[in-house]
Each structure stands twice: as structure tokens, then as C-alpha cells.
Structure 1
Amino acid sequence: MKVEVIVGDHQSKVQLPERTLTMLEEAGAEAVGMILADEMASADAPLATLECVEVALVDDETSDRVHDQFMGIEGATDVITFEHGEIVIGVEVAQRQALEYGEPELRELLRYLIHGLLHLAGHEDEDAADRKVMETAQEKLVAALWKA
């Protein structure tokens, strides 16, 4: 089963070329295939049953609002994942983190997309042991999919 990944740019703070959205969609669909093929998803995870994952690229203001409304946490964040197949990615957060870590912004956006997909695959990052497992899977996928 192939899962479609649709990326929409819902912000105007960071200019993103159309090819960025296309690359994220293609890499996201490939990542889903790898996650499911490599059995990185738990049996009851939403990812295995979704036909489509919608990704919203948002600014800090929107990220903060969604973070507070749905998680009760104030402040913009990198990724918020909803079990029904929506991933909200903070573009300004990605821009700041990419600068801080010396990463290309697009690679940081790819990392956030993969992080959200792994949440849909049943991965958690609340405690240190789970976070380590998730980060290992995440960085393996980023390395495999980064083509720039």
C-alpha cells in the first residue's frame, strides 16, 4: 500500500521554492515505504492504515497556537503529529535549528517530516530510551533520503 504525502506551505515568513515542497513529498512517500518495509512501525500504528499524510508548513505564530491548543504547551515547536495523518512543521524553528547545527534548512525540514512519520509509525520520544530508538531510526532515514 502506497501512502501519499502532501506538503502545503501555510506560512509567508520563509520563502520556500516549489521544488522544496515536491522534494519533501517525494522523500516523505519514500520514507513511509522504508518505515513499513523495514518494520519500523508497530502493528497498531496509524501509518499502516493511512492513504494520505498531510503536512502543513507553518510559521512560529501558528506553531505556537497549535502547540498550545492541542498539547497545552506554549511556544513554537518543530513538529506536531496528529494520529489522523496530519503533521505540522514549524518552518521558522527549522530555520533556526539548521543555523544552530550547521545543517541545510531543507535537511532540517526533512528531519522533521521523518520525525512526524515515525510518530505515526508508533514511535515515542517522551523518555530517554524511546527517544534514542526514535532518533536512531530518524537519522538512518535522513541519511538514506538526503540527496542534496
Structure 2
Amino acid sequence: MPPEIIVGNNQSRTEIPEAWLTLLEKGGALAAAEILARHVAAEDAPLHDHECIEVALVDNETSARVHEQFMGIEGETDVITFHHGEIVIGVEVAFRQAAENGEPPLRELFRYIVHGLLHLAGHEDEEATDRERMEAAQEPLVARLWPELG
């Protein structure tokens, strides 16, 4: 059974309607189910072990603090995934990227949830070949599930 997805809006700079949060939770659960069925990259992937995944939507300052504290990298980022089942998403980064790429902001937030879930399924993206493999799993999922959410 796929994990439940809980999305918490932990920032106030960018308005996110409650209905969006519900859609993100629904979409995350759909993505988790498909990832478990088709895209698990490692048998010992932590996604198998979680009944619930928490997604924290945060501002740039929080994103930068978490990024530096846990990854040793300065500056805000889009997504940080923790194996204990938390995905931290920089909302301001997501909205900026959405505008630059002509994407709806919610779709970009959903992409980041899928990205985090893929990390929990054992995918990595530090090396170019790993990044390509991860995108090859991520983008078709976003494209297929988005119409149900958008």
C-alpha cells in the first residue's frame, strides 16, 4: 500500500490555497503508488517502509538553512529529501522555476514531490547519468498524473 502524503504549508510569503494542498496530497499519493509499482531503484529504498510521507513547503530562508545544515551547501534549493520520510520544498524556488519554464506553479510543486518520492525509492541525481535516469522516471509521471490534478 502506498504511503499517505501530508503536505504542510510552513511558509507565508507565497499564497497557496487550501485546495492546492489537497490536490498535492492526492497527486503525491498517486505518484507514490506508481513509483512503488514501477520505479523503485533499490530494494532497500526507504519508500517501502513509510506509511506516511510529510511534505514541508518552506520559504527561501528555511530552505537555505536546511540546505546548509544537512547538505553543507549554502543557498536555498528546490527539494531536499530525508530518508525518514520528509520532503522539504522551497516554494519560492518552485514558483520562480515555474515562471521561468512557463509551468503552472502547482505542477512545479507536484514535480518536486515526485522528485522527492523518487529519491525515497532509491534514485540519485548527483551524477549526470543518474540525473538522466531519474528524469526519465520523473517527467512521464508528472505528465501522466498532472491532468488528474490540474
Please, what TM-score do these two structures have when normalized by structure 2?
0.96
Give the CA deviation at 1:40.
2.9
Output the amino acid matched with 1:80. I
Output the amino acid matched with 2:24. L
Q: Distance in 1 between matches of 2:33 and 2:98?
A: 26
Output the amino acid matched with 2:32. V
1:75-95: CA deviations, max 9, x gaps? 000000000000000000001
Change (3 A) 1:14 1:132: same
Q: Distance in 2 between matches of 1:35 and 1:48?
A: 10
How do 1:128-139 and structure 2 match up within 5 A?
Answer: 128-139=128-139
Given that 2:39 and 2:118 are in contact with CA atoms closer than 8 Å, whether structure 1 keeps it comes out as: no
Q: Could you list the runs of 5+ residues in structure 1 that have no partner in the other structure?
A: none
1:8-35: CA deviations, max 9, x gaps? 0000000000011000100000101001
CA RMSD across the alignment: 0.8
Q: Distance in 2 between matches of 1:39 and 1:123?
A: 9
How do 1:38-117 and structure 2 match up within 5 A?
Answer: 38-117=38-117
Give the CA deviation at 1:42.
1.7
**Percent same amino acid at aligned positions?**
68
After TM superposition, the runs of 4+ consecutive aligned structure 1 residues lying more than 2 A away are: none
Given that 1:57 and 1:90 are in contact with CA atoms closer than 8 Å, whether structure 2 keeps it comes out as: yes
Secondary structure at the counterpart of residue 125 of structure 2? coil
Give the CA deviation at 1:39.
4.2
Q: Could you list the runs of 5+ residues in structure 2 that have no partner in the other structure?
A: none
Give the CA deviation at 1:49.
1.0
Secondary structure at the counterpart of residue 89 of structure 2? strand
Given that 1:41 and 1:48 are in contact with CA atoms closer than 8 Å, whether structure 2 keeps it comes out as: no
Given that 1:80 and 1:87 are in contact with CA atoms closer than 8 Å, whether structure 2 keeps it comes out as: yes
Q: Distance in 2 between matches of 1:122 and 1:44?
A: 8
Matched, 1:24 2:24: yes
Count of matched residue pairs:
148
Given that 2:2 and 2:36 are in contact with CA atoms closer than 8 Å, whether structure 1 keeps it comes out as: no
Give the CA deviation at 1:4.
0.4
